[in-house]
Amino acid sequence: MAWFKKHWFVSTTFAAIILLVFPLLVDNDYYQRVAITVLLYMVLATSLNIINGYSGQFNIGHAAFYCVGAYVAAILATRYHLSFWVLLPISGAAASLASCFLGLPTLRLKGIFLAMCTLGFSGIVRLTALNWISLTRGPMGIPGIPFPEVFGVPLKYNWQFYYVILGLAALAIFVCHRVVHSRIGRAWIAIREDELAARSMGVPTFLYKLLNLAFGTFWAGVAGCFYAFFSSYVSPDSFTLDEGFSILAMVLVGGQGTLLGPIIGAFFLTILPEAFRFVAEYRLVIFGLAILVTMHVRPQGIAGSTMLSMRYREAQKDDVASDIETGGIAS
């Protein structure tokens, strides 16, 4: 991790080249679908990390906003024949709007109380999709979602979808990076570290927390839109509570509060069940064990703990240098 931070440009360039040529090197539908799934979960984990990692809110019902984005895209595509590219921002906006309905009455709660509200909201959204048969077709789901098109050419093959989700993942990570390192991102971090102190410094904490929730869930809605067009079918079974816990596990294992952490967590916790398909029915057990081991060995996650220790060592060096300059250390 230290090498990555020191040589970030080389590392990023190498990773970008590998990702760009992957479909050319691996001409196998199964492996390409796994790669698409990894990138999709990278978007979802990154979006949840914005909420849980940078503002300190505890959202465990992220699958609800993923579901909203998918169903909005599926309904508008099949009934009104809207384009995939038009539906991407619409699905994200719908998920953000749903998060505002949740956040307005609940964001003054903290910790486990807020977590229970998000978990309950996730259950409500899934039950709505399951029982509003006239709109969602209930347990039968919505089939026949058309393929996306680029200049009139339909995207039918896995390698084409791979490049679409690769572009969306790169866009999501870039935008999140820019926002996190802006004045808004610094306000979120201040709220996470000490909400009372942030409020005393003039930060409108409630509005910033609502903005944080809306921004994070926007990307979950975008991911839901992609999923709907990629699978050509959505049903309530795709957005269970297990899905929300899986996304949360990726953030925790990778390291929340870092942009690299969710990427690492999504990679490992998507590849792991594929590598051990004979125990696929114990997927939650795998996630649970991964979280327990990570919390024991690296409480801040794979990337989070390393970066934290690096910052701690750098701070120590600065303190020592300052002491030397001021004569605080006896020769």
Digit-coded pLDDT (tens) for 218-276: 999 999 999 999 999 999 988 888 888 889 888 888 888 888 889 988 998 888 777 77
Tell me how far apart the alpha carbons of residues 305 and 264 are, in angstroms, rounded to a whole number: 13
Task: Indicate whether 140 belongs to any domain.
Answer: yes
Question: Is the predicted pLDDT of residue 325 greater than 80, yes or no?
Answer: no
Question: For residue 120, what are the domain limits?
Answer: 31-251+263-289
Q: Which pLDDT band holds residue 7 (cuts at 50, 70, 90)? A: low
What's the rounded Cα separation, in Å, for the pair 297 and 168?
33
311 falls within a domain: no
**Domain annotation covers residue 327:** no
- Weakest-pLDDT range from 86-95, 110-119, 207-216, 307-316: 307-316
For residue 164, being part of any structural domain is answered with: yes
Specify if 174 maps to a domain: yes
Phi/psi class of residue 111: alpha, beta or left (left: φ > 0; alpha: ψ in -120 to 50)?
left
The answer to the question of residue 170 being in a domain is: yes
Predicted pLDDT at 175: 95
Pick from 6-15, 159-168, 313-322: least confident: 313-322
- Which CATH number do you get for residue 181? 1.10.3470
The reply to whether 285 falls in a domain is: yes
Spatial separation of the C-alpha atoms in residues 122 and 240, rounded to whole Å: 8
Report the Cα 220 to chain-centroid distance in Å: 7
Is residue 211 one of the residues assigned to a domain? Answer: yes
Give the residue, 314 or 312, on which the prediction is more confident.
314
| Mean pLDDT of the 110-118 span | 87
Domain count, the chain: 1
pLDDT in tens, 141-188: 899 899 988 888 888 888 999 999 999 999 999 999 999 999 999 999
Of 81-90, 131-140, 289-298, which range is least confident?
289-298
Residue 149 in 3-state DSSP?
A: strand
Average pLDDT of the chain? 84
